Amino acid sequence: MRILIPLFIFSCLSFTWGDIQFEDVSQQAGITRVGESWGNAWGDFDGDGYLDLWATNHRHKPSLYRNNGDGTFTDIIDTVWDANPLADTHGAAWADFDNDGDQDLIVLSGSSGGLNSKAHINHGNHFYINESGRLIEKAAQFGVDYPLLRGRTPLWFDWNRDGLLDVLLTGVARQMCCPTDATGTFIGSTVFGQVAGKFENTNAISGFFLQKSVEFAQLASLTKTGNLHLILGSHSHVYPAALYEISGTPLQDVTGALTIRGGYIVQDAAVTDMNGDLLPDIFLARSVYPSYIGRPDAHRLELNIQSTLGVLSQPIPIFLEKGVSFKAEGDVYFEIYSEWGPQRHLLKIGAVGYEITEFDGGEFIGVMPNLRAATFKVRLSPDDPRVVGLKARPENERFGIYVGYDPNTQEWTLIYHKLPATTLIETTEPISDVEAINFFPFVDIRSDLLINKGIGFEPLPPLNEARHFPDCHSVAAGDFDNDMDIDLYVVRSSTAENLPNHLYENQGDGNFIHLPDIGGATGSEQGRGQSVTMADYDRDGHLDLFVTNGRGMYPFSEGPDQLFRNLGSDNNWLQIDLQGTISNRDGIGARLFATTPDEKTQLRENGGGIHWAQQDQKRIHFGLAQNERVSELVIHWPSGIVQKLKDVEANQVLRIVEEALQPVTRGDINQDGVVNILDFVLVAEHFGERPPTNAAVDVNNDGIVNILDLVAISNLFTDTELKSIVN
């Protein structure tokens, strides 16, 4: 028995782990790019039913991977696109904003730190209109170029429920000069409403006022009312940075109405029902990207120094200078990469501040199309009197890098003044006495799962150390084994190295276990992990993953893009493409409830697939376990229409078109041909709904069912005597 019991336990554990397995198919699928990354978006660009992939490739030419339908992709960017390949692009999102049946794409730009207003070189946002299979850039023409915003993540949503998609552009306020424009208006995240086929700043009429930087926004119905919420996240403010209820006009600021203890440094979030109670919970991916000193061997240092101009609201000390000191005999070779202030005089050596080219073999290489950082290479000798001392740093200096040597202590010092940079240091003799200057190389941050209690959110208490969620930068939430609960995949990295990504399997009740055996989906050892997006690219019913590893600055950003195919299980599934008719065509904002023969009901919400700078598939996915059908599928469309389907077969991608309400007499809720007390009672049954689950009970069309609707319907009574009694 002492032998059989461990074997039995191991076999059970192995079976559990084996339910979710991924395979790295990047090379055979045609995903071979290595380099900087940022935003990615899945969408059916060519309308063939297979999802294509847009990758912004941050400051490099983007990629548009067309899905060939056979498990492979072809980058067709040069045949469908013609714009600025060097733009500082970030998040992206597909949507059929004009309801013409094809997917258009918006890509947000950092606009050179929000300082570049030169539209003719196209450094603002990009808005690609899908015209017969070509992407035509028309951001300025449609009014969404917004070149003074440091754009991050776009969110498509219909804030006023007119059936036309509007777009929220999130972004970071300008820090290098001022956060306002010439009129004194704060330049920040903005709701652009669709008006007459173009977009206008509708912050005032929508009630959206936000005087802080935010990096992403998401949609979910956080309370039992079913009302949709707009949730905004920020890397530098407490989560949520703001919370609005979308239940009428204008938006309602309810930031303080729900208790959500999210904390600081939230990089990404997944908002979905994780414990099966039909209320969305929130997983917060939290991490910092601290300055770091790596020592791969006795003769080498690797420095990744982060910006010294951080946001003061973070609970981490901010210093104007950071750096390192160390001791080593013999010559020292410095190789420094800087994206900020990339000019030769940026580096100053010794007390005088000599430039790099004044030393034998000193080399300066400016920014190149394939390398968006200036390169400084120089070998310095402690016997050279020019390297002695450190030049004084002027208080009004914008950027600077300083190197100096103290012959009395035999100590070298490298200082970064107000800017981030990466450096490789090599010595002929062993390095000793390494000290960080004004930074802490190690910061312990953990991610959190917040459980929705109906009136607020509470952190899931850890049962043990194994259930702690580690720091991570990006998250994908989906039913990866089709067993009717939501699992989590997180991308991890540090400034020092790329860390293994983690997969957490839901045990069906919101408790998760870490699965170490997930095939090649642990990620790459090269580069720095940045993002994950989720889509069933081969239409086999199993959610696959696209992971990027190009985070940060060169050379640490040189990591591969990776496609992980889900090897699947024998469980059934159902996927749904929504097509609105009264609602927006993509059905963004819809809520779906799927009830199976085992009497279990699942909730999915169409938030457009958005999380930080990423867009997962908008296609709705349900795992069905061994159920061969969905007994009842209920769709709550943004218009208020409730549509029900019975006995939907499993294992298909189903397109559902919104059924328009039949024309009826206003106030005739039960459609019996008269407006009477029976209709009054039906309105009363929906009292307080905002928005109403049945559009007909909102008699005065103000987005809420209240006493005004009861008054309005009583005035419509066919029986005048009854009307007078009620009044």
Give yes or no for residue 168 having a pLDDT over 60: yes
Give yes or no for residue 52 having a pLDDT over 90: yes
pLDDT attached to residue 237: 84
Domain final residue, candidates 437, 456, 491: 437
- The pair of structure tokens assigned to 38 is 């940022």
pLDDT attached to residue 397: 79
Domain match, 52 and 195 both: yes
Which pLDDT tens digit goes with each residue over 660-719?
Answer: 865 446 788 876 778 888 888 888 888 887 666 677 788 887 778 899 888 888 888 865
- Chain centroid offset of residue 115 CA: 24
Domain match, 531 and 553 both: yes
CB 406 within 8 A of CB 388: yes
- The pair of structure tokens assigned to 397 is 């200096």
User: 143-152, 176-185, 310-319, 614-623: lowest mean pLDDT where?
Assistant: 310-319
Residue 92: strand, helix, or coil: strand
pLDDT attached to residue 183: 65
Q: Count the alpha carbons within 13 Å of 473 in the hemisphere toward its beta carbon.
A: 27
Q: How confident is residue 115, by pLDDT bands cut at 50, 70 and 90?
A: low
Tell me the DSSP string of 153-199. Answer: EEEEE-TT-SSS-EEEEEEEPP-SS-SB-TTS-B---EEEEEETTEE
Is 147 within a domain? yes
pLDDT attached to residue 342: 75
pLDDT attached to residue 444: 67
pLDDT attached to residue 418: 78
Domain match, 263 and 138 both: yes
Q: What mean pLDDT is predicted for residues 587-593? A: 98
Is 707 within a domain? yes
Give yes or no for residue 533 having a pLDDT over 70: yes
Q: Count the alpha carbons within 13 Å of 611 in the hemisphere toward its beta carbon.
A: 24
Name, of 52-66, 140-154, 328-342, 593-607, the range with top average pLDDT.
593-607
Give yes or no for residue 564 having a pLDDT over 60: yes
Residue 80: strand, helix, or coil: helix
Write down the number of H helices and E strands in the chain: 9, 49
Domain match, 32 and 163 both: yes
673 versus 139: which is more confidently predicted? 139
Domain match, 212 and 359 both: no
pLDDT attached to residue 373: 80
Q: Give 11's DSSP letter.
A: H
Domain final residue, candidates 521, 555, 578: 578
Query: Which residues lie below 8 Å from residue 21, measured CB to CB, with a gap of 6+?
Result: 517, 518, 519, 566, 567
Q: Give 64's DSSP letter.
A: E
Q: Give 121's DSSP letter.
A: G
CATH number at residue 695: 1.10.1330
Residue 359: strand pairing partners: none
- The pair of structure tokens assigned to 132 is 């017969």
User: 13-22, 82-91, 488-497, 571-580: lowest mean pLDDT where?
Assistant: 13-22
pLDDT attached to residue 325: 96
Q: How confident is residue 170, by pLDDT bands cut at 50, 70 and 90?
A: very high
Provide the domain count of the chain: 4
Which pLDDT tens digit goes with each residue over 365-424?
Answer: 987 766 768 899 999 999 999 999 999 988 777 788 999 999 999 999 999 987 777 888
Domain match, 382 and 456 both: no
pLDDT attached to residue 113: 52
Name, of 252-256, 338-342, 509-513, 536-540, the range with top average pLDDT.
536-540
CATH number at residue 148: 2.130.10.10
Is 252 within a domain? yes
Domain match, 484 and 370 both: no
Domain match, 21 and 120 both: yes
Does the bond joining 240 to the residue before it have cis omega, within 30 degrees of 0?
A: yes
Report the distance separating Cα 268 and Cα 153, nearest Å.
11
Report the distance separating Cα 460 and Cα 259, nearest Å.
14
Domain match, 191 and 232 both: yes
pLDDT averaged over every residue in the chain = 87
CB 246 within 8 A of CB 253: no
Model confidence pTM above 0.85: no
43 versus 260: which is more confidently predicted? 43
Domain final residue, candidates 578, 607, 641: 578
Question: Domain limits at 191?
Answer: 4-288+443-578
- The pair of structure tokens assigned to 646 is 């019975």
Residue 644: strand pairing partners: 634
560 versus 493: which is more confidently predicted? 560
602 versus 698: which is more confidently predicted? 602
Is 602 within a domain? yes
Length of the chain: 727
Q: Count the alpha carbons within 13 Å of 720 in the hemisphere toward its beta carbon.
A: 0
478 versus 295: which is more confidently predicted? 478
Is 667 within a domain? no
Query: Which residues lie below 8 Å from residue 549, measured CB to CB, with a gap of 6+?
Result: 37, 493, 498, 523, 524, 526, 527, 528, 529, 530, 559, 560, 561, 562
pLDDT attached to residue 475: 98
Give yes or no for residue 628 having a pLDDT over 70: yes
pLDDT attached to residue 72: 98
Amino acid at 408: N
Domain match, 378 and 456 both: no
Domain match, 111 and 25 both: yes
Name, of 98-102, 306-310, 679-683, the range with top average pLDDT.
98-102
Give Cα separations from 476 to 36, 510, 514, 547, 653 (angstroms).
20, 15, 15, 10, 21
pLDDT cut 70: percent of the chain above it? 87
Name, of 168-182, 239-253, 533-547, the range with top average pLDDT.
533-547
pLDDT attached to residue 83: 73
CB 495 within 8 A of CB 307: no
Domain match, 284 and 298 both: no
**What dihedral angle (degrees, nearest 10) is formed by the CA atoms of 153, 158, 159, 160?**
160
Give yes or no for residue 289 having a pLDDT over 50: yes
CB 552 within 8 A of CB 528: yes
Is 564 within a domain? yes
Is 248 within a domain? yes
Is 665 within a domain? no
